[in-house]
């Protein structure tokens, strides 16, 4: 998923840039024309793009907290396995870092997963996918407010285009009030952006994959604890093959494999190339939703999608020096 362009920060191994999906700091690689990494980027966009219709299949028969406890749990197991196999180490810098991981996990994983799940129950999948990817725009705004980063002309233009795209999406549906599903989808992107900026501010000490894994562990514990309180018990036995497949796909591919691919990519391609490449994920989400679920975007939808996509590109493009 797409991320936030940041100023370089001094670090032990060189400049640091942003991991767009998890909101983590990674050492910025030198530019390369690594064909393998670019193919992996295509695979990553497919993973995240196809996750949207997969979640929709899962939610047809499995309640949100039951579904998300499985998907987040599978994602956590996948990344913890990567940490163990690659001997990255499970430790963080100290108690302060664990506290920051908890807060980041609540914003990046818990809020994102639950808000997007309820949004999918109330709105068209393609609209939810595209509105969730307004994250770079909100992140640039939060970075200006919280980190004092310069609010450039490109970011102002992006905010205007994003607001215009959202208005075009909402207006045809607002006869009886603003749809709750679209508000939840926007909140999904906003929470993800807040988590991204929070991690930049917190400067958590630890391996980037380990930090992502512990965020998933935090999210799993929180979502799992909510299942008996909100849904009474797990509701998995009644689900048929499509819903089960959608749940497993979301956990293993949308979380576990996708995170693994991202960290391999960011080590081999410039962060800007990776960030712009991942912006194809919501486009894949819209197309795959139309094919697999039969949802057909309206003309206002398409105009709104184009404006939001262009706004995200504006935020991610490097500023002229």
Domain ranges of the chain: 54-316
Average pLDDT taken over every residue of the chain: 82
Determine the Cα–Cα distance for residues 169 and 152; give it in Å rounded to an integer. 26
Tokens of residue 233, six digits: 């018990």
Where does the pLDDT of residue 14 fall: very low under 50, low under 70, confident under 90, or very high at 90 and above? very low
**More confident: 224 or 169:** 224
**What is the reported pLDDT for 27?**
45
Where does the pLDDT of residue 141 fall: very low under 50, low under 70, confident under 90, or very high at 90 and above? confident
Q: What are phi and psi of 135, to 5 degrees?
A: -50, -45
Determine the Cα–Cα distance for residues 3 and 199; give it in Å rounded to an integer. 13
Determine the Cα–Cα distance for residues 126 and 265; give it in Å rounded to an integer. 26
Determine the Cα–Cα distance for residues 108 and 128; give it in Å rounded to an integer. 17
Listed ranges 55-64, 228-237, 285-294, 301-310; the one with the highest mean pLDDT: 55-64
**More confident: 18 or 35:** 35
pLDDT at 222 over 90: yes
CB 135 within 8 A of CB 18: no
Q: For residues 270-287, give the mean pLDDT.
A: 76
């Amino acid at each position: 998923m797409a991320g936030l362009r940041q100023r370089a920060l001094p670090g032990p191994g060189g400049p640091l840039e942003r991991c767009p999906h998890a909101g983590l700091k990674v050492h910025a690689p030198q530019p390369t024309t690594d064909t393998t990494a670019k193919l992996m980027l295509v695979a990553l966009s497919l993973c995240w793009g196809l996750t949207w219709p997969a979640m929709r299949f899962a939610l047809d028969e499995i309640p949100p907290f039951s579904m998300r406890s499985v998907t987040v749990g599978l994602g956590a197991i996948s990344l913890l396995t990567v940490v163990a196999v690659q001997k990255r180490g499970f430790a963080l810098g100290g108690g302060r870092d664990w506290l920051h991981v908890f807060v980041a996990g609540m914003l990046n994983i818990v809020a994102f997963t639950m808000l997007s799940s309820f949004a999918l129950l109330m709105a068209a999948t393609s609209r939810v996918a595209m509105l969730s990817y307004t994250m770079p725009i909100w992140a640039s705004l939060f970075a200006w407010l919280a980190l004092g980063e310069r609010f450039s002309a490109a970011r102002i233009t992006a905010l205007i285009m994003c607001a215009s795209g959202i208005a075009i999406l909402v207006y045809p549906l607002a006869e009886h009030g603003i749809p709750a599903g679209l508000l939840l989808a926007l909140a999904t992107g906003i929470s993800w952006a807040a988590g991204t900026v929070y991690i930049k501010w917190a400067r958590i000490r630890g391996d980037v994959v380990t930090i992502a894994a512990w965020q998933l562990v935090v999210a799993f514990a929180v979502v799992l604890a909510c299942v008996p309180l909100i849904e009474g018990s797990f509701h998995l036995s009644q689900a048929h093959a499509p819903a089960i497949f959608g749940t497993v796909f979301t956990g293993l591919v949308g979380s576990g494999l996708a995170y693994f691919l991202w960290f391999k990519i960011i080590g081999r391609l410039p962060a800007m190339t990776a960030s712009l490449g991942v912006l194809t994920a919501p486009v894949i989400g819209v197309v795959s939703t139309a094919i697999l679920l039969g949802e057909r975007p309206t003309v206002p939808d398409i105009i709104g999608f184009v404006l939001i996509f262009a706004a995200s590109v504006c935020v991610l493009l490097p500023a002229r020096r």
